[in-house]
Structure 1
Amino acid sequence: MVRTSGAGRTPSLEADLRRAILTGDQQPGTPIPIDEVAAFFGVSPIPVREALKTLLAEGLVEHRSHVGYSVAKLTFSEFKELYDVRQALEAAALRAAVGRVDAEHEAEVRAAHEQLGDAVERGDDRGYDAAARRFHLALIAPSGMQRLVKMYESAWNITEPARPMSRVPAADRAALHADHERMIEAFQARDADALIAQSDEHYARLRTVISRFADDPECFVDPV
């Protein structure tokens, strides 16, 4: 569990629980005992339940009667579906973004890409996850489509606890990083068609890479 509010300050239960899930500190399927969480944060069970209800609505946790709460665990089919959602939302935002790119946007995209490169060289899968998220959000930020960006982030969040990049071999991760470089070139050229085509190729590669561990019980749950 992660507590970020500091000693003597009111804990941000919702933010801290969300962070613990998104960073992979609490893996999919991990039980979330309300009384233990409440004791850790020094609060009553009531705010813990309220925070978990919010995370339930976000798709980050699940609840079973007579069992309790746990970190949500997707089937592989559900995981792929969320990648389809991300791809569609990203394409719409990229088309709007290219006409509004300025030097500040370009600098943020390049900085995120450099962060990705550093993570690839270090073999840092958590660093790669964070930098990849930063990179893709930087590409669509110029669109100004705030509601779409929120939906995109939500879809990304639901897949994040499985930490798929931690299971991707270095060679595949390098290929994904090369995709990002081609996306930057199209982004800087303000070529929406080329940018979306490169994004589509990137998602096709992601699906291929992730399908290799579709049967991993630590990552995905068997369909009912």
Structure 2
Amino acid sequence: MKGNAVFKSGYNRCLQRLGALSPGAALPSESDLAHALEVSRTTVRAILAALQERGITERRDGQRRLARAPTPADHFPDAQTLSAGATFERRFMEWILTGDLSPGQLLNAAELARQFGTSTTTIRECLARFQHFGLLERRPNSSWLFGGVTGDFVREMYEVREMFELRATRSLLELPDSAPAWRELAAIEQEHRDILAHLDRDHALFPQLDERLHRIIHETTRNRFVLDFYTVVATLFHHTYRWNRDDAKPRSATALVEHLDYIAALRSRDPRAIDASCRKHLRTACATLIRSLEARATTPSCAGAVV
């Protein structure tokens, strides 16, 4: 099977879309899939071949059809779907959030390349991205000043996120009912209910579901700057969520309920209801993340963020 990040990432996104279909349903055309997954026709053909090989799809009546619903075991691990640059970004963010870095500390690109076992080019590209978001400031002699993940940083980040996400909801509302995004939203809504029904067992599944929901909304904008920003938000969330699992269940329960209210507002297509539910959820997320940072600064065990 084709073993690269583009293929595996596209394959996982395709599984998410197939999850909104019923067994026996016809698959979209190769060109429609290529457009929806943002990959080449060649990659789509490799994805379709792998789906058929795994028994997820089948040829029937001259059409490709869904043979069975995809399961979590069908997906490639997240680490395998990331490019070298994206892999480093996640490792670097985790290092920032779990290490002993202090605001005002200087970082050296060459030393980071040796520490993480990657090229200086990859390091510089990543550091430049974090500079764009205000986490780092470039200094002479290949050094970078770490600004720190502070309460002010989080407040500014969520202020921008609110603007971007509310704009993205308008893009979603412009889509017809038949658009794949609405089918995916329906599937995600059911997954929220399933987790709530088995919260003791499944609450740890929430972070990935959270990212899928918000990413679907952001992707409707087809705006590279919006998506680039959300990638940093999602990376920050995933690592802060892991800081302390002691209260993960009630945090997940709160977020799941807020998500269901948000999804209901989206499905109603009522702009006022969408605005209210989106702002409420993001305010909760911002406040929880700030509490997480404050607790992290005073004790090794702290609450994670619900985004």
- TM above 0.5, yes or no, is yes
- Contact 2:138/2:144 (8 A) holds in 1: yes
Residue type of the alignment partner of 1:81: E
CA positional deviation for 1:172: 2.9
**1:177-198 superposed Cα distances (whole Å, 9 cap, x missing partner):** 1111111112122222211111
Q: What is the DSSP-based 3-state SS (H/G/I as helix, E as strand, rest coil) of the residue aligned with 1:16?
A: helix
2:203 matched to which residue of 1?
A: 123
Q: 2:89 is matched with which residue?
A: 18
Aligned-partner residue type, residue 57 of structure 1 = Q
Could you tell me how far 1:141 is from its partner in structure 2?
A: 3.2
- The aligned residue for residue 90 of structure 1 is 165
Pair 1:50-2:160 in alignment: no
Q: How many pairs align?
A: 204
Report % sequence identity. 15
Structure 1 unaligned runs (5+)?
Answer: 6-10, 220-224
Structure 1 pair 185–161 and aligned structure 2 pair: CA distance change class (3 A): closer
Deviation at 1:75, TM superposition (A): 0.8
Q: Counterparts in 2 of 1:184-223, with a 5 A limit?
A: 184-216=263-295, 217=297
Cα distance in structure 1, aligned partners of 2:186 and 2:280: 20
Maintained 8 Å contact 1:105/1:138: yes
CA 1:54–1:86 in 2, change beyond 3 Å: closer, same or farther?
same
Secondary structure of 1:163 counterpart: helix
- Compute the displacement of 1:166 (Å): 4.8
Is the Cα–Cα contact under 8 Å of residues 89 and 148 in structure 1 kept in the other structure? Answer: no
The CA deviation string for residues 47-82 of structure 1, in whole angstroms up to 9 with x for no partner, is 354334434434486368699569873111211221
Cα contact 1:21–1:71 (8 A) shared by 2: no
Pick closer, same or farther for the CA change 1:209–1:85 going to 2, 3 Å.
same
Match of 1:133 among 180, 193, 211: 211
Structure 2 residues not aligned, in runs of 5+: 6-81, 102-106, 303-307
2:177 corresponds to: 102
Shift in alpha-carbon separation, 1:203–1:71, aligned structure 2, 3 A: same
| Deviation string, structure 1 residues 6-49 (Cα, Å, up to 9, x no partner) | xxxxx954232113245x3x3426477744744764x6x54354
Does residue 73 (structure 1) correspond to residue 148 (structure 2)? The answer is yes
Distance change in 2, residues 1:92/1:165 (3 Å): farther
Structure 1 residues 123 and 204: alpha-carbon distance in aligned structure 2, compared to 1, 3 A threshold: same
**d(CA) in 2 for partners of 1:164, 1:89:** 22
Contact 2:137 2:145 (8 Å CA) reproduced: yes
8 Å Cα contact 2:266-2:274 kept in structure 1: yes
Preserved contact between residue 109 and residue 135 of structure 1 (Cα < 8 Å): yes
Deviates more, 1:206-215 or 1:73-82: 206-215
- RMSD of equivalent CA atoms: 3.9
Query: What amino acid is aligned across from residue 15 of structure 1 in structure 2?
Result: A
Conservation of the 8 A alpha-carbon contact between 2:218 and 2:227: no
Which SS does the other structure have where 2:136 is aligned? strand
Q: CA deviation at 1:211?
A: 4.2
* 8 Å CA contact 1:52, 1:61 repeated in 2: no
Higher RCO (C-alpha under 8 Å, 6+ residues apart): 1
Provide, for residues 194-221 of structure 1, a one-character-per-residue CA deviation record: whole Å limited to 9, x for no partner: 11111111122223433433422168xx
